[in-house]
Structure 1
Amino acid sequence: MSPLIPQESPLTDIPPYQTMLSGNIMINDAVIEIIDLLLEVPAGFAQCPAHLHTWYELNYVFKGHMKTSFGGSMLDIHAGEFFLIPPGMEHAHAYEPDDPHTGVCLRWKVDRGTTISSEGTFSTFEQLTVLSNWKPGVYADEFGLGQLLASSFENAKKYGPSVATLLQVVQVIFAITEQSTERKVWIESESSSDYSLLRKVDIYLNDDQSYEVDVHRLASSLHMSYGHLARKYKKLSGHTIKDRMNQIRLERSLELLCNTDQPIQEIAFTTGLSSLSYYSRLFKKTYGISPKAYRNRSNE
């Protein structure tokens, strides 16, 4: 995506350094606090001395240029380029007092919320905090950040701090996160691919209604040999594929026992278990009670 350097329309009638948007929004296990979104036009200012802060800060240049240092020599930032400052990173800026740049400054914090991620799901908090290891430097906007920021300003002018506008600003943050080297390593990690494998097996087993699951066809659909799949699945889950298949079918039968009047023998066949005797033995071994006793107890 080519960089967008908006003309005057998205940034007209906006006073410099006035917070256009702030607010909190929770996404899964992450609480994202947008501290401010503001227009930066440092007329009359020559520099901002070295400092650090406890929030993330994105600076995007729409027009002109500025200089920034991350503890070393000053780097030039031109229109269509940006830099990100993670919490605790010392930095300094230099400006052209008589010909100031026009840019956007977005500040935010990320905290872990009270919601706990379900087992096997991605943590939004962990995804967003990979930016704490962002490599300092000047980056060309190849990700459409300028378009997202310009649109965020436009909506902030029209609608104020609405949920939709906050989400649009959060989209900017996620767009940066997707480019993080740490994020790419994280998303390609073994844990991610392992979760994907377990989920695919679950989908296959849930969709299969036959008495005997064709595990070789399952392995082929995942482009693996059955032996490799069986060993990997056992290592990741602690169970065999057959164990998981039986668990899924027993869970289906619980719902039928509680919510229907189907005969127990019919339930055994409906859920894909081969016989009433096998179903009863498996049910009692798993739940410590017979299917009939379970149904009676649930009715009571």
Structure 2
Amino acid sequence: MGNKLEFKDFVQNKRKYYIADLELLEDAGNIAHTHDFYEFYVVLKGQFKEYFNEEKLIVDKNTVHVIRPQDTHYLTSTNQYDRNIIRNIAIEKQYFEQCLNEVGIEDCESIFCCFKLDEIAYQNYQTKTNLLLQLNNTEQTNHFLFQNILHDIFICGLIQRRNEDERIPKWLQFAYNEFSKDAHYIDGLNKLIELSGKSQEHFTREFKKHYGITPSEHINNLRLQHAAILLKTSNEKIIDIVYECGFRNLSYFNRLFKEKYLISPREYRDLNKKCF
């Protein structure tokens, strides 16, 4: 079974989690281990081999893996990239299970697995874990962030399982993929329905069935993701970004942005300037 890592060896001051960005090398000398805590990581850069419960996995950018205390695993770089980095979080067992219960996660198999986050979920994960890395957060803020992170990962895992269990119609896959282009999602719902070639009622029903959200929610997610990238990488005025991404109301944009990223657009821009 290998070594057993103990949570008390990673944390100080009675903190309930440990978070760090780790760069792993091919010859890092990792050994198989279990824990007395839960652990999850997301690959930020590069590619890794993971030996997990006697299985061999290849995990690359955007992959998330939630690991239970009884699981045996270790990671090593495939040496295919110059840098190979994961953002790793170790969480006290009792606290992790408390958070799962508080956000109403019962189908735990949807979270204890290895899968890729879509780009929106990946951006959300980075933003929220960047906030966790700040040392001046209150305990209440960190608790809220953990709940949000676990909820996001659970939803992504659930959608992936549904997609594997239920084959998505080709016309819907086409509309979904084409609509990811900014020239389309900025145009809004009518463009999405046009790409599908179906009636609005039929399209809306099938979209919600297969993707777990409404078309309007998907449109807003894509627009918010685009806005977040512009806030991070450009010096455009926020009001110009709002209109460029397809929103027509600044107050509505601010409310949606804060619901998704937990901070205002201006705070998001300032935070990412500091982090990147």
User: Which range, TM-score by smaller chain?
Assistant: 0.3 to 0.5
TM (norm. structure 1) is 0.39
Larger radius of gyration: 1
TM (norm. structure 2) is 0.42
